[in-house]
Chain A
Amino acid sequence: MLRVHPAMRGIVTVANHVAGPADAASPGRPHTVHRMREHTVEVVSDSGEGAQKCSQIFGAVSAKMGNGVWTVEIIPAEIQPPARAPEGASGNRIRLGAGQVTNWGDDTNLVVAFNEQVLLARHRAGALARDATILLEDKWATDDDADIRDAWLQAMREIADVGYRVVTVPMEERCLTLVDDARKGKNMFALGMLAFIYQRNLDLVFEQIAHTFRKKSDAVYARNVDLVRLGYDWAGAHLDFRIEITPEPNDRPMVVMNGNEAIGMGAIASGMELCAMYPITPATSVSHYLSEVFERFGGVVHQAEDEIAAAGVAIGASYAGKVAFTITSGPGLALKTEFLGLAVMTEVPLVVVNVQRGGPSTGLPTKVEQSDLLAALFAQPGDAPRVVIAPATIEECFHVMTTARRIAEAFRAVVIVLSDANLATGVQPFPRPEVDTRWHAEPADLSAVLAGRKPYGWDESTGLSRRIVPGQRGGMHTVTGLSHDEGSKVAYSAGVHGRGMAMRSRKIAVLSSLLTPPTPYGAEEGDLLIVGWGSTKGAIEEAVDRARAAGLSVASLHLRFLSPMEPGLTAIFQRFRRVATVEINYSDTMGDPYVTEENRRRGQLSWLLRAQTLVDVDCWTRVPGEPLRPGAIVQAMHDLMPPRGDA
Chain B
Amino acid sequence: MSSCSLHVLTNDDDRTFTLSDYEGARARWCPGCGDHSVLAAVEKLLSAEQLKPEDTVFVSGIGCSSRFPHYLKTYGFHGVHGRALPVALGIKLHRPELAVFVVMGDGDCTSIGAGHWVHTLRYNPDLVVLMLDNGIYGLTKNQTSPTTPQGVPSNTQPQGTILPPLNPISLALGVSNASFVAQTAEFVPAHLYATLRAAFHHRGLSFVRILQRCPVFTRGSLPRR
Task: State the CA gap A339–B83 with chains docked (Å).
Answer: 9
Residues on the A chain within 8 Å of B98, using CB: 320, 470-471
Interface residues of B in 3-56 (CB under 8 A from A): 24-25, 52-55
Known A305-B119, A315-B87, A476-B74; contact A338-B80, beta-carbon cutoff 8 A: yes
Query: Quick check: is A493 within 8 A (CB to CB) of the other chain?
Result: no
Across the interface, do A478 and B94 meet the contact criterion of CB distance under 8 Å? no
Interface residues of B in 71-110 (CB under 8 A from A): 72-80, 83, 85-95, 97-98
- Among A309, A310, A324, A479, which residue has its beta carbon within 8 angstroms of that of B77? A479
Q: How many A-B residue pairs have CB under 8 A?
A: 133
- Among A305, A316, A476, which residue has its beta carbon within 8 angstroms of that of B91? A316
Query: Quick check: is B132 within 8 A (CB to CB) of the other chain?
Result: no
Residues on the A chain within 8 Å of B80, using CB: 338-339, 341-342, 481
Residues on the A chain within 8 Å of B90, using CB: 274, 276, 302, 312-320, 324
Residues on the A chain within 8 Å of B74, using CB: 476
Query: Quick check: is B146 within 8 A (CB to CB) of the other chain?
Result: no
Query: Quick check: is A210 within 8 A (CB to CB) of the other chain?
Result: no
Query: Quick check: is B151 within 8 A (CB to CB) of the other chain?
Result: no
CB distance from B63 to the nearest CB of A (A): 13
- Among B54, B55, B77, B118, which residue has its beta carbon within 8 angstroms of that of A316? B77
Across the interface, do B83 and A476 meet the contact criterion of CB distance under 8 Å? no
Known A470-B55, A480-B78; contact A313-B89, beta-carbon cutoff 8 A: yes
Residues on the A chain within 8 Å of B87, using CB: 312-313, 315-316, 319
CB 8 Å contact bits of A452-475 with B (1 = contact, 0 = none) = 000000000000000000111111
Query: Quick check: is A24 within 8 A (CB to CB) of the other chain?
Result: no
CB distance from A163 to the nearest CB of B (A): 57
Across the interface, do B53 and A476 meet the contact criterion of CB distance under 8 Å? yes
Query: Quick check: is B128 within 8 A (CB to CB) of the other chain?
Result: no
Across the interface, do B93 and A481 meet the contact criterion of CB distance under 8 Å? no
Category for how many chain B residues contact A: 35 or more
Task: State the CA gap A477–B115 with chains docked (Å).
Answer: 28
Residues on the A chain within 8 Å of B210, using CB: none
Residues on the B chain within 8 Å of A44, using CB: none
Across the interface, do B24 and A470 meet the contact criterion of CB distance under 8 Å? no
Interface residues of A in 289-306 (CB under 8 A from B): 300, 302, 304-306
Task: State the CA gap A315–B89 with chains docked (Å).
Answer: 10
Listed residue (A319, A324, A338, A490) with the most chain B CB atoms within 10 angstroms of its CB: A319
Task: State the CA gap A313–B115 with chains docked (Å).
Answer: 14
Task: State the CA gap A470–B58 with chains docked (Å).
Answer: 11
Residues on the A chain within 8 Å of B91, using CB: 316-317, 319-320, 470
Task: State the CA gap A441–B26 with chains docked (Å).
Answer: 38
- Among A309, A338, A342, A480, which residue has its beta carbon within 8 angstroms of that of B115? A309
Across the interface, do A324 and B115 meet the contact criterion of CB distance under 8 Å? no
Query: Quick check: is A4 within 8 A (CB to CB) of the other chain?
Result: no
CB distance from B175 to the nearest CB of A (A): 12
**Chain B residue nearest to A322 in the complex (CB):** B94
- Among A276, A305, A321, which residue has its beta carbon within 8 angstroms of that of B116? A305
Task: State the CA gap A311–B90 with chains docked (Å).
Answer: 9
Query: Quick check: is A176 within 8 A (CB to CB) of the other chain?
Result: no
Residues on the B chain within 8 Å of A317, using CB: 90-91, 93-94
Query: Quick check: is A482 within 8 A (CB to CB) of the other chain?
Result: yes
Task: State the CA gap A543–B217 with chains docked (Å).
Answer: 68
Task: State the CA gap A482–B24 with chains docked (Å).
Answer: 17
Task: State the CA gap A334–B7 with chains docked (Å).
Answer: 38
Query: Quick check: is A308 within 8 A (CB to CB) of the other chain?
Result: yes
Residues on the A chain within 8 Å of B25, using CB: 489
Known A473-B54, A478-B77, A490-B70; contact A320-B94, beta-carbon cutoff 8 A: yes
Across the interface, do A305 and B54 meet the contact criterion of CB distance under 8 Å? no
Interface residues of A in 592-647 (CB under 8 A from B): none
Across the interface, do A316 and B89 meet the contact criterion of CB distance under 8 Å? yes
- Among B55, B77, B119, which residue has its beta carbon within 8 angstroms of that of A319? B77
Task: State the CA gap A338–B54 with chains docked (Å).
Answer: 28
Task: State the CA gap A484–B194 with chains docked (Å).
Answer: 36
Across the interface, do B54 and A472 meet the contact criterion of CB distance under 8 Å? yes
Across the interface, do B115 and A316 meet the contact criterion of CB distance under 8 Å? no
Residues on the B chain within 8 Å of A477, using CB: 75-76
CB 8 Å contact bits of A247-291 with B (1 = contact, 0 = none) = 000000000000000000000000001101000000000000000
Known A478-B70, A481-B79; contact A312-B54, beta-carbon cutoff 8 A: no
CB distance from A474 to the nearest CB of B (A): 7
**Chain B residue nearest to A490 in the complex (CB):** B70
- Among A300, A346, A482, which residue has its beta carbon within 8 angstroms of that of B93? A300
Across the interface, do B94 and A312 meet the contact criterion of CB distance under 8 Å? no
Across the interface, do A302 and B76 meet the contact criterion of CB distance under 8 Å? no
Known A316-B87, A319-B87, A479-B78; contact A324-B94, beta-carbon cutoff 8 A: yes
**Chain B residue nearest to A308 in the complex (CB):** B83
CB distance from A338 to the nearest CB of B (A): 5
Residues on the A chain within 8 Å of B89, using CB: 302, 309, 312-313, 316
Task: State the CA gap A305–B120 with chains docked (Å).
Answer: 9
Known A304-B86, A322-B94, A470-B98; contact A312-B79, beta-carbon cutoff 8 A: yes
Task: State the CA gap A482–B58 with chains docked (Å).
Answer: 16
Q: Which residues of B contact A (CB under 8 A)?
A: 24-25, 52-55, 57-59, 62, 69-70, 72-80, 83, 85-95, 97-98, 115-116, 118-119
What are 12 A-B interface contacts by the 8 Å CB criterion? A312-B85, A312-B87, A313-B87, A316-B77, A316-B88, A319-B91, A321-B95, A473-B54, A478-B58, A478-B72, A478-B76, A482-B78
Identify the 8 closest CB pairs spanning chains A and B, nearest first.
A316-B90, A312-B86, A478-B76, A316-B87, A313-B90, A305-B119, A317-B90, A317-B94
